[in-house]
Structure 1
Amino acid sequence: MKSTKEQRAWYWYDWANSAYITTTATVIIGPYLTSLATNAACPDLADGATCLNPVMLLGLFPVLPGALHPFLGTLSTIVSAILLIFVGAAADRSAHPNRWLGGTAAIGAVAASLMFFLQGDNWQLGAWLMIIASFAAGASFVVYDAILVRIAGPDDRDRVSSKGWAWGYLGGGLLLALNFALMSSYESLGITYGLAIRVSLLSAGLWWGIFTIIPVVGLRKLPRSVPLQVKAKNPFAQLGDTFRDMRNYPQTVLFLLAFLFFNDGIQTVIVQSSLYASAELGMETQQVLITFLLTQIVAFGGALLFGRVAASIGAKKTVIGGIAIWLVVVVIGFVLPSGSFTALLGLGAAIGLVMGGTQALARSMYSQLVPLGRESEYFSFYQAMERGTSWLGTLTFGLVFQFTQSYRLALVALAIFFVVGGLLLTQVNMRKGITDAGNALPKVL
């Protein structure tokens, strides 16, 4: 089926923000921020040794440099879980959701661009910028995901959501390839490796901001009237109504609970994978970048493939199958031999196969369970658990490393998230949930 003008404009935001998600949040910032914190805590550390001197996270909590990044992910998610709900309530009251998309994305893009100034032992600035960028990204996703309901019907939503994710992997992979070329040839360009990394961070922020202009302009005429039931209410009163209202949709709540677990597992594996590959498996930065390039390429096709499979057997069965593959990925990653680049490439390809498909279909499944007219509100709960803002997984990963100094044990501990999330998802009655929300049933469930 051919995409509409609004759908094509909508795809571009996945293209825009995936540059930050891929280059910065997934590949660079974890190892780079860890190195800055290590420089601050253990300036004379020998190569290959683990820094056991803690740094003070936000001046309050002592954490090992190796656990700093996952703990920051947890903190940014707790902040987002509180604030994103108010963003959703306010966005649902607006007749111009594209402006909310542009404003939140602009804040994130500026924060991401300012990461260019991270160097030496200045990890504190990086911590604050990471929190701001993560929140802004989550806020923009609240609006972006809610717009999906406006531009695609029940039978078209899996395809549109999957295609958006595919565009994201294509855009994110393209910038990652350019940054890989920069970091591979920095000497011939007469710059240091540190500057090459900082330029890469800057490029992700600029890419995010510049390409967001396309969906902001393309969705400016999106039909959007403020629902009568929220016109006279402020966001705080509306938020209270949402909490009470969710009791009427038990299948929606059950899906959110399942999503909390399996998506936290997915997000933690994705975000901590570069740190795991470099610190635990002993891979060079270039090897990690090549692996992620492969993952992006495979993910582009994987997202489209999962959309096709869902059209035949339904999104729920397809997502459950994807979760099973994720569980296998975690187990294989635990036993992956150090220094084996070939094995890492194979694991990266497996991750790419399921990475986009499971998340794209989860988004479209949830959109079917959301009451009409309160999309942004309900997607604010969804985004509090979405990509880049998971917290239970990163907390588990960070705590296991904090007490064992083993990234392998931290990784395999994530298996419980896929097991629990998958089991909970099997109990979701999609037909009842869609009917209870007052939405039309798709032809294939």
Structure 2
Amino acid sequence: MGHRSTRGQVVVVAVTDAAGGTAERRREQRGWYFYDWANSVFSTSVLTVFLGPYLTEIAKSAADADGFVHPLGIPVRAGSYFAYTVSVSVLLSVLVMPLAGAVADRTGRKKPILGGFAYLGAGATAGMFFLDGERYLLGGALLVVANVSFAVAVVVYNAFLPQIAGPEERDAVSSRGWAFGYAAGALVLVANLALFLRHEALGVSEGSAVRICLASAGMWWAVFTVIPLVRLRERPGAVQGARVSVLSGWRQLGSTLRELRRYRLTMAFLLAYLVYNDGVQTVITQASVFGSEELGLDQTTLIAAVLLVQVLAVAGALLMGRLARRFGAQRTILGSLVAWTATVGGGYFLPAGAPVSFFALAAGIGLVLGGSQALSRSLFSQLVPEGKEAEFFSLYEVSDRGTSWLGPLVFGVAYQLTESYRTAIISLVIFFVLGFVLLWRVPVGQAAAAAGNPSPDRI
């Protein structure tokens, strides 16, 4: 997928795989799916369901008479603490992800970087078991470490996609990966719901049940990360025998940023993705806070709603993968953004204390969530030059799952100014509308050709 003659190199690799390496490639793809299976539980159980409301309550218990906590001496309304912490974690991710991507591409040592950050994130998530009382600072610190690690590991994970799947199968492979992730999220949420509903019968307090669910997500992440680490294989780096160092990583990053100016259409797609996916990620991380604080729904209802999202997201990812084969990935994503706009806009009008309406909102989110993310990933892979996969995906990951920063910041500021989560949720519509306009203006065929790749058959 290089800028000039590298597309022919990929064709040679594809032919070689088809002749004698198809079984090995399928084995790698199945192993690759399992990292989605491993880490999606962090996105679901931790970021989407449990940590937001739980950390908000801990911050409220530590707040002063005016409802503010003071991390590092900065006055922050307790209800905004979780959203701001997510934003801080992503700003740090912006610094770390491109560096890790540059090192991965330069050396070809993707698996050690994937494994190192996956286990750092899993360890921080398991450490949330000790989050109780007024330890909002501990909760914030663990969230930052876990979310930064999550982001960096996903950069390297996504960079494997162009190496294990040809252009014609990436939409399907990417969609299956997302489906695996949402299936795992649903499975673990069923176990979480069983524990939460029966915590009294099991002799466990509600807070302890939440902490067990948080820690179990870290353990799940750690255990299933073994499978991709065993099945994926390394490819040679851009510099044979290159040594891993921070200095060489920053130098390579500087080279990548200068080179990125040659791929202006790829940059245009990244801008569109940055905007609309900020909205997607903010809905994921803040929906449970909206449901609990604004609509007055209990934790059981929230878990059931997120479980509904997970189940429908599996079907939605596979369905939108099929739609992409017929209509093209770009058109399918644009359609999903229209659905996102209608769904989030409808959230503003949901009545308090009405779980059925909240379930309807969850169903709308689930049907478009997995597909819009999966197709964005596979579409971007068509716009990346060969040998730069991890570096370019590091830029892509700035606003990917659970690592959006502008959306949570807007959400938090909207609440801080109005003390209304309805205003905060409706503020997210602009991300989907603007993202639609920016994506619609990207000539995907030209962008693929500029990166040295063939234009997709359907756009």
- Quick check: TM above 0.5? yes
Percent identity over the alignment is 45
Q: Among 94, 101, 106, which residue is 1:81 paired with?
A: 94
1:34 and 2:34 are equivalent in the alignment: no
State the partner residue of 2:155. 142
Counterpart of 1:283 in 2: which secondary structure? Answer: coil
Contact 1:316-1:365 at 8 Å conserved across structures: yes
Q: Among 216, 219, 229, which residue is 1:216 paired with?
A: 229
Deviation at 1:91, TM superposition (A): 1.0
Letter in 2 for 1:172: G
How many residues align structurally?
434
State the partner residue of 1:48. none
1:280 and 2:294 are equivalent in the alignment: yes
1:392 and 2:403 are equivalent in the alignment: no
CA distance in 1, matches of 2:301, 2:99: 41
Deviation at 1:228, TM superposition (A): 4.5
1:361 and 2:375 are equivalent in the alignment: yes
Q: Among 361, 367, 388, which residue is 1:347 paired with?
A: 361
Q: Which stretch shifts more, 1-10 or 172-181?
A: 1-10
State the partner residue of 2:236. 225
User: Which string of whole-angstrom CA distances, capped at 9 and with x for unpartnered residues, describes residues 369-412 of structure 1?
Assistant: 11110110111111111111111100100001001000000000
Q: Among 63, 66, 73, which residue is 2:76 paired with?
A: 63
1:18 and 2:9 are equivalent in the alignment: no
Deviation at 1:441, TM superposition (A): 2.9
Q: Please give the TM-score of this superposition, normalised by the length of structure 1.
A: 0.95
User: Which string of whole-angstrom CA distances, capped at 9 and with x for unpartnered residues, describes residues 155-214 of structure 1?
Assistant: 100110011000000001101110110000011111111111111011000000100001
CA distance in 1, matches of 2:355, 2:281: 23
Q: Among 203, 210, 221, which residue is 1:197 paired with?
A: 210
Deviation at 1:95, TM superposition (A): 2.8
Q: Among 411, 418, 440, which residue is 1:404 paired with?
A: 418
Q: Equivalences for 1:19-418 in 2 at 5 Å?
A: 19-41=41-63, 52-57=66-71, 59-219=72-232, 221-222=233-234, 224-228=235-239, 234-418=248-432
CA distance in 2, matches of 1:89, 1:230: 15
Deviation at 1:231, TM superposition (A): 5.1
Letter in 2 for 1:431: G
Letter in 2 for 1:250: R
CA distance in 1, matches of 2:457, 2:410: 39
State the partner residue of 2:26. 4
CA distance in 1, matches of 2:376, 2:108: 26
State the partner residue of 2:6. none
Q: Please give the TM-score of this superposition, normalised by the length of structure 2.
A: 0.92
Letter in 1 for 2:398: A
Letter in 2 for 1:218: R
Letter in 1 for 2:273: F
Deviation at 1:230, TM superposition (A): 10
Contact 1:322-1:358 at 8 Å conserved across structures: yes
Deviation at 1:243, TM superposition (A): 1.0
Gap regions ≥5 residues in structure 1: 43-50
Contact 1:93-1:230 at 8 Å conserved across structures: no
Gap regions ≥5 residues in structure 2: 1-21
User: Which string of whole-angstrom CA distances, capped at 9 and with x for unpartnered residues, describes residues 293-326 of structure 1?
Assistant: 1110000100001101001110000000001100
CA distance in 1, matches of 2:149, 2:276: 23
**Cα RMSD after superposing both structures:** 1.6
